Amino acid sequence: MTESALLELEVGPVGHGGFCVARHEGQVVFVRHALPGETVRARVTEETKNFLRADAVEILKASPDRREAPCEFSGPGRCGGCDWQHATPEAQRRLKSDVVKEQLQRLAGISREVHVEEVAVPVLYTEDGEPIASPPGLGWRTRVQFAVGEDGGVGLRKSRSHDIEYIDRCLIAHPGTEQIGVERQLWKNAAGVEAIVSAGTGDRLVVITEPKGRNRRPTKIPTLDVPVRIVKPDRPERFTPQQPGKAQGGKPQPGRPQPRKAVTPFVREEAAGRLWQVTGSGFWQVHPAAAETLVKAVMDALEPRSGEIALDLYCGVGLFAGVLAERVGRDGLVIGVETGNQAVRDAKFNLKDLANVSIEQGKVEDVIAALEFGQARPERPQRGAQPKRGAAQGHRGGSRVRGADITVLDPPRTGAGEKVVDEIARRTNRKIAYVSCDPATLARDLKYFSTRGWVLETLRAFDLFPNTSHVECVASLIRG
């Protein structure tokens, strides 16, 4: 079999990763741009000893769930940012439900019906109060990372490739992101450009990644369509605010860079009745309704009680920790654990008004192994001595009273892993909420929990990434 060969295939079930599964002469074929039940002619794009990959280039018998892709850059061999533009929104959610169900059954031995819930994008309004409504499944992504070509042109990577599909707009990008106009400019000497907008506050940020090496040249920053702050993470002391200024003749020049000066590189996000500072490319959910949706799902799963001790693992900028702190009250305690330096700084800033929250930095498995839960009586320091770090806050250095009552974890796509699961399972007394963006690693970790006496109580799934293969799940666990 050679790459680029054409195969006629009867398409089978959906697979995890934005493709469907077919067979050709007994060999497994992973087919993109197809739907279950279709007959397609597919071009082979990759061959291994165990399977083939292929793109459906001709639909011989179409599924009733098929539609014309709304994006002109979608299709075989083109932009890899979306996986299911050729399926109706309802069909996409059914496909994702099937993926989650299959991963749970195959990897965790759990048989569970799964319903992926639609999450609407909040309506955006213009300065004149006119609504900007996006069609279903479009206009939701508030953070978009663009690749930059040698000539400065901007686009998105093709599927399983470093090649760039050059674009002048992205339909799944939030209208506020598109207003920046990154795709309509040249970014010479940049390696990547990320456009960020807060749907709640309207804050905008552009983060530039530059090539590494001695011979690199500074990025030529173009004039953009709206005021925005330009950030170069490798030179954090230098930011370029783009806002209306004055030319030498005294006339305003909208969008012209002002002289460089220090500007704090963050956006303010709104969720759960609070403002959240998120610096640069720091993690925040990209769907405008995701933070509120997940907070509600996690609180429904954990049912926090006054006076409880809670862990928020992989806490990022402190979203769940902040809400938990309010739920457990002054007599309770919340400990957030995060690895990233800037995320820890943001979390501490965001939660500085909550005395019952402690943010710890380090690898989750290391930090929770060293945690000593409960609030200790502060010892009187000897004259000239400093109080023992954490003695009054109940984190590392406090006195052990009991384990955490509840734990929420929101790990990266790679999941928590067995070592972290083991620590959580031993140190949590009542309930665990697991937030996951990958059903495979979620299922793997649920299996680890099951061998340690924890069982799946509830599972909810949310379509926070329409037109892509990604799905967000919230699982609650109790002791069996």
CA distance 270 to 336: 20
Candidates 79, 315, 437, 473; catalytic one = 437
Q: Which of 65, 84, 59, 63 is nearest to 74 (CA)?
A: 84
CB atoms within 10 A of CB 213: 6
Residues whose CB is less than 8 angstroms from the CB of residue 147 and which lie 6 or more positions away in sequence, other chains included: 154, 155, 156, 157, 164, 192
DSSP 209-277: E---STT-----PPPPSS-EEEE-TTSTT-EEEE--EE-TTS-EETTPBPPPB----EEEEEETTEEEE
CA distance 440 to 206: 32
User: Please, what is the end-to-end C-alpha distance for the chain in angstroms?
Assistant: 51
| Token digits of residue 100 | 């989650």
User: For this structure, is 79 an active site residue?
Assistant: no
Contact between 69 and 62 (Cβ < 8 Å): no
HSE toward the beta carbon, residue 226, CA cutoff 13 A: 17
Q: Could you give the 3-state DSSP secondary structure of residue 28? A: strand
Please give the positions annotated as active site.
Answer: 437
